[in-house]
């Protein structure tokens, strides 16, 4: 028998904390590391993941740097010293959308007064 809602595909972002590496743009000392991925779940249990990406985000100038999966996995395991200035590949500005949440920096489409992701009041 097939029940709607017992399985599906979702996306998730996981904050891995901050590492001591200087931002190439504003020279801030610490960057926040975020792991994003898509996953298939069955009864709310993740079965497998794909499209895993690691990004370093500057909290000051909101630039997103892409980092390699090897470096991201090492940071996730607790090796905070592995990321260097030269590992940062500039991906984009996190504030690139006009309708973007000031709290979680996600793009919000439509005329929402509150962010559908974190609940923060939009401008």
Q: What does the chain come to in residues?
A: 123
Residue ranges of E strands in the chain? 7-20, 30-42, 45-57, 63-67, 89-93
Domain boundaries, the chain: 7-93
Q: Note whether 35 and 13 are within 8 A (CB).
A: yes
Give the integer Cα–Cα distance in Å for 18 and 68: 16
pLDDT in 10s for each residue of the chain, 123 residues: 344 567 888 888 899 999 998 888 888 889 999 999 988 888 878 888 988 999 998 888 888 899 999 999 999 999 888 888 888 987 655 444 457 777 776 777 777 788 877 788 877
Q: Note whether 14 and 33 are within 8 A (CB).
A: no
Strands 7-20 and 89-93: unpaired
pTM score: 0.67
- Res 97: pLDDT: 45
């Amino acid at each position: 028998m097939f029940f709607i809602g017992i399985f599906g595909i979702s996306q998730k972002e996981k904050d891995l904390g901050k590492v001591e590496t200087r931002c190439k743009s504003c020279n801030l000392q610490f960057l926040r590391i975020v792991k994003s991925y898509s996953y298939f779940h069955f009864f709310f249990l993740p079965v497998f993941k794909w499209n895993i990406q690691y990004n370093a985000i500057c909290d000051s100038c909101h630039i997103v740097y892409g980092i390699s999966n090897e470096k991201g996995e090492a940071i996730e395991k607790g090796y905070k010293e592995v990321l260097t200035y030269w590992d940062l590949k500039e991906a984009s500005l996190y504030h690139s959308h006009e309708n973007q949440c000031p709290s979680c920096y996600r793009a919000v489409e439509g005329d929402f007064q509150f962010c559908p992701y974190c609940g923060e009041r939009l401008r």
